[in-house]
Chain A
């Protein structure tokens, strides 16, 4: 089965708190990509990160950090010192190569993050 699970439907935090958004994926493919996107109320999808299956190195970008663990099939996203502007829906996604050569892109159900002032 190929699936992305974001168990947290909605999270509320107070500004300046750290928050971690969980993502668990399922695939039997050995080559795949994982993504995180931010969707603010306006609707557009803002690309945050792409990670390929062979690169388990964690990444930090400003207040954002990602923890990729193949052993647990997880790709968690942490926002440090959250801000009100971080309020949005965050999607984790899995990209798999199809036999046709194109890619299949599977989204999680999203986590709605509310950062309260």
Chain B
């Protein structure tokens, strides 16, 4: 139980384009979803916290207009990297919390490469 699906697992896009990453809770309702960014050989850094039906709360230093987060339902949150640049290349991973989920369950991550 408590499975989180993240899609796509990897994406390559051209500089200036936008990329959408989906995070879904498959067997539980995720009241809260978290988005993290991980640079190579580094730890996970929390980007933002989203609660279903409300605006996301962004961590200091994370551009809201650059990383758009939508949590429209209890099972889906999306992260859109707008006007992507090579420095946005990173591993993005989401986690979800909800009634019945044990601890924090993570998606499998999305490796974004901007060329």
Q: Which residues of A contact B (CB under 8 A)?
A: 33, 35, 37, 42-45, 47, 50, 91, 95, 100, 102-105, 107-110, 112
Contact = CB atoms under 8 A, between A and B. Distances in A.
Contacts of B51: 102
Given A102-B51, A108-B43, A110-B43, A50 B108 contact: no
In the A-B complex, the 6 residue pairs with the closest CB atoms: A45-B106, A50-B103, A44-B108, A43-B109, A109-B43, A107-B44
A43 B93 contact: yes
Secondary structure of the A contact surface, majority rule: strand
26 contacts: A33-B103, A35-B104, A37-B106, A42-B108, A43-B108, A43-B111, A44-B106, A44-B107, A44-B108, A45-B44, A45-B95, A45-B106, A45-B109, A47-B103, A47-B105, A100-B57, A102-B32, A102-B49, A102-B51, A102-B57, A103-B97, A105-B95, A107-B43, A108-B43, A109-B42, A109-B43
Contacts, number: 52
Contacts of B105: 47
Contact of A43 (B45, B57, B91, B97): B91
Given A107-B43, A109-B43, A50 B93 contact: no
B74 interface: no
A59 to B, nearest CB: 14
A8 to B, nearest CB: 14
